[in-house]
């Protein structure tokens, strides 16, 4: 079966009824994927910068970061690369940055750390902006946003980074990249009417969104069977996000693991998602599956799934749909 997926890897990701789906890569965890994966995706929908920080013995300097980001941006050029600012805390720790908490997933994580350490955040933003000079395929994404103040403070620091750089390098044309937020804290889902006017795009982090909606630690084996993004409540939230983003004309995508499951991808496409970011190992499989399906059939399936009582029933319906249609 894997060979079959590979045979179609160079073909476009288009459904039977002609909808083009952008398939993007989640990168950063495997440090060297970019060399051989650029040609099979439409760009990078999530570049996890913290993975590289985790390999280091101390915070990398701005220059070191710039070199690294430039290598990543060039590998995928001219396709876009969505670089996420440092998302440490929770399960992701740096040996050289001590965080001791009783409840790390509800603690000092993601953007909270960046805003408490503006010197680190500014360094990272400046390194990204400089790496983008002459390329222009950078987009910046902010993790774990839960309130308007975080959006505004982040944008203010971004402006500071931009103006300081423009002043320091007057001969260079520093571009202003699109800035987006992750939707992964439940509160963020309800703020789209306001935030859609402040940011350029959003991307759903279904891993954390599932964890926080269901109050199930994504890393705790004891409750692993409760961690399920096919829970109808999660699906309804994902569906609402798509409708809200369409209504407010905010470009949206999804970059959690759900988009890399063929079953998840089908349901998301039915909801209106047209940009899905996933691990390299999922890309060809998802492409193969969606090329054999009509969006109108997926929509029919979705309406049935949204009315199911639990994840098990949703998956049963979705799997039999896939068997029936290919
Ligand atoms: C997510 O939470 O869904 C996500 C994509 O980010 P991470 O898995 O890195 O927390
Ligand atoms: Mg996350």
Ligand 1: which of 28, 182, 217 to mutate, judged by most atoms within 8 Å of the beta carbon? 182
**Closest protein CA for atom 1 of ligand 1:** 205
Q: Is 84 in the pocket of ligand 1 (CB under 6 A)?
A: no
Q: What is the pLDDT of residue 6?
A: 86
Q: Is 207 in the pocket of ligand 1 (CB under 6 A)?
A: yes
Helix (H, G, I), strand (E, B) or coil at 183: strand
**Closest protein CA for atom 8 of ligand 1:** 207
Q: How far apart are the first and last CA of the chain?
A: 13
Task: Locate the DSSP E strands across the chain.
Answer: 22-27, 44-48, 81-84, 138-142, 178-183, 201-204, 252-254, 275-278
**Model confidence pLDDT, tens digit, residues 107-151:** 999 999 999 999 999 999 999 999 999 999 999 999 999 999 999
Bridge partners of residue 47, in order along the sequence: 27, 83
Nearest to 216, CA basis, from 106, 258, 182, 224: 224
Q: For residues 16-42, give the mean pLDDT.
A: 84
Please report the DSSP string for 228-258 in residue order: -TTSHHHHHHHHHHHHHHHHTT--EEE-SGG
**Closest protein CA for atom 9 of ligand 1:** 48
Give the distance (Å) from ligand 2 centre to CA of residue 177. Answer: 22
Q: What is the pLDDT of residue 35?
A: 61
Q: What is the pLDDT of residue 8?
A: 87
Strands 44-48, 22-27: pairing is: parallel
At residue 34 the predicted structure's pLDDT band, cuts being 50, 70 and 90, is low
What's 315's DSSP letter? H
CB 252 within 8 A of CB 178: no
| This prediction's pTM | 0.96
Given a cut of 90, whether residue 2 has pLDDT beyond it is no
What's 38's DSSP letter? G
**Closest protein CA for atom 4 of ligand 1:** 205
Predicted complex ipTM: 0.99
**Residues above pLDDT 90, as percent of the chain:** 92
At residue 33 the predicted structure's pLDDT band, cuts being 50, 70 and 90, is low
Ligand 1: which of 46, 85, 184 to mutate, judged by most atoms within 8 Å of the beta carbon? 184
Cβ neighbours of residue 315 closer than 8 Å, sequence gap 6 or more: 230, 263
Q: What is the pLDDT of residue 72?
A: 95
> For residue 18, is it left (φ>0), alpha (ψ between -120 and 50) or beta?
left
Radius of gyration of the chain from its Cα atoms, rounded to whole angstroms = 20
Given a cut of 90, whether residue 106 has pLDDT beyond it is yes
Burial class of 46 by CB neighbour count within 10 A (0 to 12, 13 to 18, 19+) = buried
Q: For residues 215-220, give the mean pLDDT.
A: 94
């Amino acid at each position: 079966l894997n060979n079959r997926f590979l045979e179609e890897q160079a073909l476009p990701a288009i459904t039977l009824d002609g909808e083009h789906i952008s398939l993007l890569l989640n990168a950063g965890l495997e440090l060297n994927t970019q060399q051989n994966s650029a040609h099979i995706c439409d760009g990078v929908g999530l570049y996890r910068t913290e993975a590289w920080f985790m390999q280091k013995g101390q915070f990398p300097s701005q220059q070191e970061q710039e070199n690294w980001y430039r290598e990543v941006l060039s590998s995928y050029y001219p396709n876009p690369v969505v670089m996420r600012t440092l998302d440490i805390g929770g399960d992701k720790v740096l040996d050289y940055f001590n965080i001791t908490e009783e409840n790390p997933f509800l603690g000092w994580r993601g953007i909270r750390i960046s805003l408490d350490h503006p010197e680190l955040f500014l360094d990272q933003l400046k390194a990204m902006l400089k790496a983008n000079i002459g390329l222009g395929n950078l987009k910046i994404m902010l993790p774990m946003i839960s309130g308007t103040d975080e959006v505004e403070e982040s944008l203010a620091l971004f402006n500071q980074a931009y103006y300081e750089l423009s002043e320091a390098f007057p001969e260079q044309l520093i571009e202003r990249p699109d800035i987006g937020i992750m939707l992964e804290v439940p509160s963020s889902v309800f703020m789209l009417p306001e935030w859609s006017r402040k940011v350029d795009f959003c991307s759903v982090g279904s891993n954390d969104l599932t964890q926080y909606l269901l109050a199930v630690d994504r890393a705790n084996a004891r409750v692993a069977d409760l961690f399920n993004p096919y829970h109808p409540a999660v699906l309804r939230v994902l569906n609402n996000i798509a409708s809200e983003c369409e209504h407010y004309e905010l470009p949206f995508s999804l970059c959690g693991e759900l988009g890399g499951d063929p079953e998840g991808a089908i349901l998301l496409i039915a909801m209106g998602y047209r940009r899905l970011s996933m691990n390299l190992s999922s890309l060809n499989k998802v492409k193969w599956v969606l090329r054999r399906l009509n969006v109108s059939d997926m929509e029919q399936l979705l309406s049935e799934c949204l009315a199911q009582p639990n994840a098990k029933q949703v998956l049963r319906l979705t799997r039999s749909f896939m068997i029936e249609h290919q």
